[in-house]
A and B are shown apart, each in its own frame.
Chain A
């Protein structure tokens, strides 16, 4: 239930907020897509941790590139 809600929130972010911010992510899939995927795969708690870790890695000191969950 909560899981579906969070994934829905991410979808709304992708439609309404993300376009204002422009393309910034150094990875494929993007951090927001990755967050949805890991929450689906590992559940809310562990997935969220993995998603946050991905965002922390998404900075100029990381090579970026393809990083699937």
Chain B
């Protein structure tokens, strides 16, 4: 269970990113965070992986107040999460395989298990044939699939994705969301910050709309015409 209790976040210069946000996400939910740029979607995710702490209110994950989590416990928190970014954030001095294996090595898994899980994760995103390549040699969509494989390889309890398809075409976006949906079906709680209205409609999930740092609406996706082939084309 993830819970935001009257959470506000402001930055120096009187910039309010979040204002009195109350939000509950049950285990195993798939939730879209939507809203215009600057609405507070990324800040909300940052509070969950403790890149930021709330200025007021409490952010709870399985009952743990993340704002009070000591710094030395943050790595352990992040090892239970899978985080995906719009700009992939891959290590470009090592291969696709090593990128995925790195996240598993950090978990402290035995070598045999690292090999097995890395292979399974890369097969899961259809990139086993390119495992030895440097990410520079992959397309944007393929790089994002590597990032997804890295995020999901250790079966995280919570997956956080910040605009994961912002740079991708419609078909590739669909592939990435399919992977996230599959992780959700296996039990992971998934929070995705996205503008992609077509995808929200297609996946028929809960959508939390943010505007000016507040929760503007919390419910189902707005009905739109949906075609999986054209999902990336529709931006609200």
Co-assembled chains A and B: no
Q: Which residues from chain A sit less than 8 Å from chain B, CB to CB?
A: none
